[in-house]
Structure 1
Amino acid sequence: MSAPTETPAAPVAAPAAAPAPASVQSSTPAKSGPIDDNDVNHWKDRFNDVLSRPGEHVNSKSPAGALSWATHLFDCFNPIDLCLITCCVPCVTFGKTHHRVNKNGNMDGYEPVNTSCLLFCGSSCCALHWIPASMQRAAIREKYNLEGNCIEDIAKSLCCACCNLIQLEKETEHREALLRNGSSEQYKSDNGMVYPGAN
């Protein structure tokens, strides 16, 4: 009886090496949340500037020939939705104005809860809301060349907080619309009623 013959085993291929994990990249950057490093640096630089030159900031005022404000401090009930939002959650209006002035006048990429909103909310918990508000008012005066001074900014931000935020939001919306239209025309109020045939 012949011995059984063994068939040679087929060579076993070595297992393929697992591909190295590739870094996940998407076409749009991942949202890191409401904290924006650029905004953090912006506010940090502003605070450092004020702390390094307090006397200059307190005594600062707009140059001669500065423009009048297009909106009034106590014209804060119109539009009513802005009034209600500001009275209930003033930090949202503060953050919205910051975005409009410093990032995008068209409000592209705006999120209601953002770094400036959280800064205002945190400072309000310590009754220091008037500090970022007066700094924002000064920045708006400087950008659009509007009348005013530092003491006035502080007084309005401290004593009329909601009216101040509403005025700043309406003013920046008005000024950015003028800039988009390429107009540098100053806001002109009506000269009162004109009766027919009074010419």
Structure 2
Amino acid sequence: MRPPSAPPAPPSATGVPANQHAPPSRAASSLSHHALVPWSTGLCDCCDNVNICCLTCCCPCVAFGRIAEIVDRGSTSCGVSGALYSMIFCMSGCSCLYSCFYRSKLRGQYFLEEQPCTDCCVHWCCETCSLCQEYRELENRGLDLSIGWHGNLERQKRKAAAADIAPPIQQGMKN
């Protein structure tokens, strides 16, 4: 116990700024409003979609390029991302050093849980399974990765335009 005349102990350091009146950062406030959700499929559910599984096993650079184009919202093309992925693989033999960052970006965009372990560990241990899971996640969210980001935007615009067209008014019975 502390003697009554001793000054109060300073608060412990938490790493949080002491300024209570400052507004929280956008990133912190957006994460606090969203609960993390599980992935729509498991890491080892590769055989659920044989086409994705074959694409990822035979041409991981294409699968990664498609994922990266969607995650980057069209700012980098599938071809550029896939070529960079291939180049990193050829130079280092370890393309997971690049692809794990896109898993993190994907999780951040859709508030997905970091499972079954950290993003880099998932890519390091099973690059193919992680790319398959990311591809399936985007498809399960209604995106067609084969048409790219801009193709998905156009498809969304066409659907919105079709929904805006009012149905024809049917005439009532006339005497």
Shorter-chain TM range is: 0.5 to 0.7
Offset of 1:111 from its aligned partner? 7.1
Shift of 1:140: 0.3
Unaligned runs of 5+ in 1: 1-61, 105-109, 183-199
Deviations 1:146-171 (A, max 9, x none): 1117x610111011100000100111
Q: Assess, with a 3 A threshold, how the Cα gap between structure 1 residues 176 and 132 changes in structure 2: closer, same or farther.
A: farther
Runs of 4+ in 1 over 6 A off after TM superposition: none
**Given that residues 100 and 173 in structure 1 are in contact (C-alpha distance below 8 angstroms), is that contact kept between their aligned partners in structure 2?**
no
CA RMSD of aligned residues (A): 2.8
Structure 1 residue 89 corresponds to structure 2 residue 54:
no
Instruction: Kindly indicate whether structure 1 or structure 2 has the higher relative contact order, using CA contacts under 8 Å at least 6 residues apart.
Output: 1
Deviation at 1:100, TM superposition (A): 2.0
1:19-58 pair list within 5 angstroms: none
Q: Which has the higher helix share?
A: 2
- For 2:105, the equivalent position in structure 1 comes to 139
Match of 1:5 in 2: none
Aligned residue runs from structure 1 range 70-149, under 5 A: 70-103=40-73, 114-125=79-90, 126-148=92-114
If the length of structure 1 is used for normalisation, what is the TM-score? Answer: 0.50
Query: Sequence identity of aligned pairs in percent?
Result: 29
Normalising by structure 2, what TM-score?
0.57
Judge conservation of contact 1:144–1:175 (CA < 8 Å) in 2: no
Task: Output the CA distance in 1 between the equivalents of 2:70 and 2:48.
Answer: 19
1:156 matched to which residue of 2?
122
> Retained in 1: the 8 A contact 2:37–2:112?
yes
Q: Which structure has the greater CA radius of gyration? A: 1
